Structure formats: C-alpha cells, structure tokens
Amino acid sequence: MSLPILYSFRRCPYAMRARLAIQSARFKCRLREVVLRDKPAEMLEISPKATVPVLQLSSGEVIDESLDVMRHALGEADPESLLEPETGTLDDMLALIAACDGPFKHHLDRYKYPDRYEGAVAADHRTAATGFLVTLNERLTGSAQLFGDRVSLADLAIMPFLRQFANTDRAWFDTQPYPALQRWLGEHLESQRFKAIMPKFAQWKTGDSEPVFPA
C-alpha cells in the first residue's frame, strides 16, 4: 500500500505542528512541499480551502486541519505519550490550544501583518497578545513543559505560533519579563526534534519525486 501524502510548507506554523506530531509518531508520509503562491492542483482538488497541512491517507481520506492531522498520527502511534500529559488531561490541553488558535492567533496575525487588516495597529495587537504569554509563562514556572516536565501535544501544537510571535520582533520579545517562556521556546527551537522537521525541500510539482517524511 502506498504511503499517505502530506502537503506541507516549511515555515507555516500549522504545518510545523503537524510535522512535529508525524515525526513523533514515526508516521511515514510522502512529503509534497507547497509554495503558497503556486499551490498544486492536486492539493486544491482534495482540499478546496487551500491551506496546509493536508494529509491524504492511503484510503483516500483527507485530513486538512492541523490539529486533526496531529491527533490522527498520534492515534496511530504515540511512543512519547503526547496525548497523555504528565499533569492535566487531554481536554485541558485542547482548551489551551484553542486559546492559542483563537484569540492569540487573531492578535498575532494583526501584529505580524498589520497591513493586511484594515485599521490594525501592530503595537495594540502585540499588547493584547501578551495575556496569553503571561498564561504560558505562569504554566512554565516550575515545570519544563506546559503540562509537566514531559513534552505533550500542547507544547508541539503551540510552540510554532510562539516562534512566529517572537520572531516578529525578537529584540523586543527577548527583553520581556517571561523568563520561563523564553527558556521553553529557546529549548524547543534548539532541539533535535525541531531541527529534524525543518530541512528545506524543493517545491513539489506533478511528477516530481517525493521525499519520505520523517526521514
């Protein structure tokens, strides 16, 4: 049976979180790297919403929400028990991820790309986003990860968005009073786990070879 197909984009935080879970699960895929301004017709045909990641299973079933891709891969195999946090519950993790994907992402987009949103003032949205930073910093004070000392689904789902936020103005972020959050983000970005999901792949086009991911 042929391997599933993963449409991905290296720098997209949604695609990053999917690749992190797929890597942990050792869920082998054929990777098709997408250029967002030139999306392949094959992807658009199976997922008209035209965003990555898109996972097409060997059965033909399509999963095109990043958190669903994560949960599917980890449902196949979860050797690190990412779905079973050291503290709290799966529902607790999903609630924190929802806060990231909802209010925090709203402000992150308008902080990073104010010109795309009428009336957006980047500084105002940066300030509004800091409430979530406080929440994360408090959770990370006294524990290595968001739900205890062991990496969980929540860490891998949220970290790519904190990376994007921090990199919008790294000099500012590094001077803010969130030492636990800064430590956590730095450790994830320097980890072999993260480096392993960030190799550069050429844009996939019809007929091209497809690297197997994870390698």
pLDDT for residue 131 = 97
The pTM (predicted TM-score) of the whole model is 0.97
Tell me: do 109 and 178 sit in the same domain.
yes
State the Cα–Cα distance between residues 25 and 77, nearest whole angstrom: 5
Please provide the size of the chain in residues: 215
Tell me: do 100 and 148 sit in the same domain.
yes
Tell me: do 176 and 205 sit in the same domain.
no
Tell me: do 49 and 19 sit in the same domain.
yes
Tell me: do 22 and 113 sit in the same domain.
no
- Per-residue model confidence as pLDDT tens for the chain (215 residues): 599 999 999 999 999 999 999 999 999 999 999 999 999 999 999 999 999 999 999 999 999 999 999 999 999 999 999 999 999 999 999 999 999 999 999 999 999 999 999 999 999 999 999 999 999 999 999 999 999 999 999 999 999 999 999 999 999 999 999 999 999 999 999 999 999 999 999 999 999 999 999 99
Q: What's the CATH number where 122 sits?
A: 1.20.1050.10
Tell me: do 190 and 202 sit in the same domain.
no
Q: What is the DSSP string of 140-206?
A: HTTSSBTTBSS--HHHHHHHHHHHHHHHHTHHHHHTSS-HHHHHHHHHHHTSHHHHHT----PPP-T
Tell me: do 72 and 96 sit in the same domain.
no
Q: What's the CATH number where 63 sits?
A: 3.40.30.10
Tell me: do 179 and 203 sit in the same domain.
no
Please tell me the total count of domains within the chain.
Answer: 2
Tell me: do 106 and 185 sit in the same domain.
yes
pLDDT for residue 1 = 59
Tell me: do 68 and 94 sit in the same domain.
no
Tell me: do 77 and 120 sit in the same domain.
no
Tell me: do 202 and 189 sit in the same domain.
no
The HSE-up count of residue 20 (CA atoms within 13 Å, CB side) is 27
| Angle at the Cα of 200 from the Cα atoms of 161 and 17, rounded to 5 degrees | 30
Domain membership of residue 185 as a residue range = 90-194
State the Cα–Cα distance between residues 120 and 141, nearest whole angstrom: 32
Helix (H) or strand (E) holding 62: strand 62-63
